[in-house]
Amino acid sequence: MPTTEEIPMASPIGRDTPRIDGPLKVSGTAHYASDFHFPGLLYAVPVEATIANGRIRQLDTTAAEKMPGVRAILHRANIGKIFRSSLGEGMEGICIERRPPLVDDVIRYYGQYVALAVADTFEAAKAAADAVRVTYDKNKPNVESQLKADDDPPVVATTYGTEKRLQSERGDAEAAFASAPVKLDQTYATPSETHNPIELQGTTAMWDGAKLTIYEESQAIFNMRSVLAQMFGLPQENVRVITKFVGSGFGSKLWPWTHCPLAAAAARKLGKPVKLVLSRKMMFQSVGHRAHTQQRVRLGATPEGKLVSLQQDYAYERSMLDDYHENCGEATSFQYSVPNLRVHFGRAKRNIGSPSDMRGPGAVPGLYATESAMNELADQLKIDPVQLRVLNEPKIDEGLKIPFSSRHYLECLQVGAEKFGWSQRNPEVGSMKRDGLTLGWGMAGAAWVAARFAAAANVELRDDGTARVACGTQDIGTGTYTILAQLTADKTGVPVDKVEVVLGDTSLPEGPVSGGSMATGSVVPAVFDAADNAAKSLMTLATTTAGSPFEKNEPDDLAFESGRVFVKANGPAGGIPFADILRRANVRFVTGSGESKATFEKKKPKFSTHSFGCHFVEVTWQPEIARLRVNRVVTVIDAGRIINPLAGRNQIEGAVVMGIGMALLEHTTYDPQNGAPINSNLADYIVAVNADAPSIDVHFLGYPDKVINPVGARGIGEIGLAGVAAAITAATYHATGVRVRALPIKIEDLLTSSILA
């Protein structure tokens, strides 16, 4: 069990802490990006291409321009210069769709913006956008769902840098597979999925001379600043990005999309603030989605179940111009012990908006395939799927040949099996019944990378006994505000509810991206460092203030604990509250800055840093009406120390429900003739609703990972989704005898089940 020696019992770290921003949100007083209003604000609505492949022949804006309240119809000829951005150092200059909007007349995906209507009201702008007449030279779009890899070189450029298509290799996987006594060779497919956060994306842009301010629901405000500075040819300090609250992102809001420079260009052109909020339909077209993948997995094993070969060959869709890499091999090289391994990928260009990061990018579809293959191998070998994983537990990360910082996967499996009652499982398909329903039990493992991005923070201790912590990261609905309050409270002794947390503004110290499940882990050392430095300032003040009880001491004689300053030699009993020192000195606050370096993508890491977990799933099957429902899930997560278990469980529960959507419901469908994502609304794109949410039992192991940060906290935003779909497809097979290898599982798949009531 977790050790607690370094975190005192009174610490808020590790305690269930209700979100400090909860009251603002439930009372409607939290200002999301599109809630801000400014004098003279204009509204912009993009005109969307209604073809997916071709060229604009004519753009007729005459009627639209004459409509009441219309300020301008902007298009290629009049919008003004927008530069292309390029990848910078660290987390800068990241942008998936690099083509500046409206830069040419070529249409490469349905919904690509071709013009922008700007008017005094949203209604007038929408009417004007609808009135723009566009004619096209139309070609048949390529939205073919069968993925055959294009002819790419062995090393390809991607959004984040170059990648070798032969991603990982050890031993001779081909030969070992050929001679393996037991073989499995299957192809798994995952569909295009759309993020669908409830808060729509949008930008409000305004200029003050050569300075640009952007209100946007960004998961990465500093990257957005760097991209916009490039696109408008500005020094970075001339761009300010503000993101106070985000109504979820799931990755769709990580990097800037084309609506953002469009709004900024319109504001520049018209000399007024401009607000542009996307429609739900646009959210399916032009702000990314999870790439459709096809993954061939070949496993070779001994009759006892020891893996001798693992091959994963995957292909994914990408847009015509962009290089987003869906890294399905993310977890393959380290999750299991296998001497011979080969991971290779290919890409297929399609007339679609670019895919992008979606919660657990790469690893989530990748683990669906590899964990499904493990489950099928277990069935083939007649070995319990938990036992098969135990048999293949690695001692080190065999891909990188370095030890894991903290891996407790076997304990996850053991705890999960116990809590679920796995030992009661009868492996025979369709054999388990309850209340007239057929039960299916399945399980799968999970992994997700853990690391730190660079982070800086500032902590103030104030004369009224409160504290302020500021960091230019953002809270995307996951509880970052609360985490920063807890960390600051832990270090300063100021109660959580007396800590003011300021986030989401590039005028603050540069904080991490809210992505990769790394925001929390990244801010820990920066906030601790800032709090320590604030304490140093306080001790200097305490020893230099006339009349201070510590006037005769040196700063080094003093200590600061639980909100009190005291002489080390005398112990805490003789100390006084820090606010007393500040008031005596007539100082409003002392301040400290802190920072920490990135560990993400470090060149020569000493440890392999990942989180692990597993899911045990029960489905119910009612063959009379072909109804399959997820009834019960037990999830065990090994993600280091959990700073706020209340919000942490919430994260994992949400991820499990999203996994039900992935396994059973979600699928962005492209119209074969027009190339449109045709189910581009929340009635036709089916996500799980409350009634689909099963009983979910979340358990955290809680072992601190001190390689990551002093608290030992890794991230939990994505790990909860990894593996869920594989566990559900395994449970579905167990209940119905139907093996589905192309998600989502549909009623039509299950109608072939021969398991009767």
Q: Cα 76 from chain centroid?
A: 33
Type of residue at 673: Q
> Where are the strands (E) in 639-757, listed by range?
695-700
CB 212 within 8 Å of CB 264: yes
Binding of another protein by 664 (CB under 8 A) = yes
Candidate list 25, 31, 76, 126; residue touching another protein; CB under 8 A: 126
Which residues neighbour 737 within 8 Å (Cβ) at sequence distance 6 or greater? 429, 430, 753, 754, 755
CB 624 within 8 Å of CB 633: no
DSSP state of 713: B
Hey, what are 529's tokens?
């460092």
Closest to another protein by CB, 244 or 632:
632
- Which of helix, strand or coil describes residue 66? coil
Candidate list 120, 169, 692, 697; residue touching another protein; CB under 8 A: 692
The distance of closest approach from Cβ of residue 182 to another protein in the complex, given in angstroms and rounded to an integer, is 35
DSSP string for 406-472: S--HHHHHHHHHHHHTGGG---STT-EEETTEEEEEEEEEEEEE-----EEEEEEEETTS-EEEEEB
DSSP state of 105: S
Closest to another protein by CB, 182 or 678:
678
Binding of another protein by 631 (CB under 8 A) = no
Closest to another protein by CB, 92 or 317:
317
CB 194 within 8 Å of CB 668: yes
- Cα–Cα dist 637/612, whole Å: 6
The distance of closest approach from Cβ of residue 748 to another protein in the complex, given in angstroms and rounded to an integer, is 4
Closest to another protein by CB, 5 or 435:
435
**Residue whose tokens read 């167990």:** 734
**Residue whose tokens read 């990580």:** 254
Stretch that binds another protein, among 96-104, 317-325, 485-493, 625-633 (CB under 8 A): 625-633
Binding of another protein by 130 (CB under 8 A) = yes
Binding residues with another protein: total (CB under 8 A): 34
Binding of another protein by 50 (CB under 8 A) = yes
Bridge partners, 559 (sequence order): 566
Binding of another protein by 186 (CB under 8 A) = no
Binding of another protein by 665 (CB under 8 A) = yes
Candidate list 63, 606, 689, 695; residue touching another protein; CB under 8 A: 689
Q: Which of 89, 304, 718, 748 is catalytic?
A: 718
Closest to another protein by CB, 229 or 688:
688
Stretch that binds another protein, among 185-193, 469-477, 687-695, 721-729 (CB under 8 A): 687-695
Hey, what are 618's tokens?
């029960």
Candidate list 158, 380, 562, 669; residue touching another protein; CB under 8 A: 669
Hey, what are 751's tokens?
């109608």
Binding of another protein by 158 (CB under 8 A) = no
169 is an active site residue: no
Closest to another protein by CB, 69 or 555:
69
The distance of closest approach from Cβ of residue 64 to another protein in the complex, given in angstroms and rounded to an integer, is 13
DSSP state of 232: T
Q: Cα 535 from chain centroid?
A: 34
Distances 461 to 541, 542, 560 between C-alpha atoms, Å: 12, 13, 12
**Residue 693, burial from CB neighbour count under 10 angstroms (0-12, 13-18, 19+):** middle
Stretch that binds another protein, among 529-537, 619-627, 644-652, 719-727 (CB under 8 A): 619-627
Which residues neighbour 735 within 8 Å (Cβ) at sequence distance 6 or greater? 429, 430, 432, 438, 439, 440, 619, 620, 621, 628, 755
Closest to another protein by CB, 121 or 414:
121
Binding of another protein by 112 (CB under 8 A) = no
Which residues neighbour 699 within 8 Å (Cβ) at sequence distance 6 or greater? 415, 416, 419, 634, 635, 636, 637
Binding of another protein by 9 (CB under 8 A) = no
Bridge partners, 296 (sequence order): 187, 313
Candidate list 6, 35, 104, 123; residue touching another protein; CB under 8 A: 123
Nearest residue to 327 (alpha-carbon basis) of 312, 311, 305, 340: 312
Binding of another protein by 229 (CB under 8 A) = no
Instruction: Count other Cβ atoms within 10 Å, centred on residue 588.
Output: 11
Binding of another protein by 756 (CB under 8 A) = no
The distance of closest approach from Cβ of residue 107 to another protein in the complex, given in angstroms and rounded to an integer, is 13
Closest to another protein by CB, 508 or 688:
688
The footprint of another protein on residues 422-451 (CB under 8 A) is none
The distance of closest approach from Cβ of residue 178 to another protein in the complex, given in angstroms and rounded to an integer, is 39
| x/- map, 707-746, another protein, by CB under 8 A | ---------------------------------------x
- For the chain, the residue count is 757
Binding of another protein by 138 (CB under 8 A) = no
Binding of another protein by 656 (CB under 8 A) = no
- Cα–Cα dist 530/553, whole Å: 23
Binding of another protein by 627 (CB under 8 A) = yes
Candidate list 678, 739, 742, 755; residue touching another protein; CB under 8 A: 678
Stretch that binds another protein, among 364-372, 462-470, 477-485, 663-671 (CB under 8 A): 663-671
The distance of closest approach from Cβ of residue 315 to another protein in the complex, given in angstroms and rounded to an integer, is 23
Binding of another protein by 690 (CB under 8 A) = yes
Cα three-residue angle 727-733-739, rounded to 5 degrees: 100
Binding of another protein by 246 (CB under 8 A) = no
CB 443 within 8 Å of CB 386: yes
Candidate list 74, 614, 676, 735; residue touching another protein; CB under 8 A: 676
Stretch that binds another protein, among 75-83, 120-128, 429-437, 557-565 (CB under 8 A): 120-128
CB 743 within 8 Å of CB 665: no
Binding of another protein by 688 (CB under 8 A) = yes
- Which of helix, strand or coil describes residue 561? strand
Pairing of strands 564-567, 558-561: antiparallel
Closest to another protein by CB, 595 or 692:
692
Closest to another protein by CB, 332 or 680:
680
The distance of closest approach from Cβ of residue 625 to another protein in the complex, given in angstroms and rounded to an integer, is 5
Residues at the interface with another protein (CB under 8 A) = 50, 123, 126-127, 130, 624-627, 629, 664-665, 669, 671-674, 676, 678-679, 681, 683-684, 686-692, 746-748, 751
Residues marked active site are found at: 718
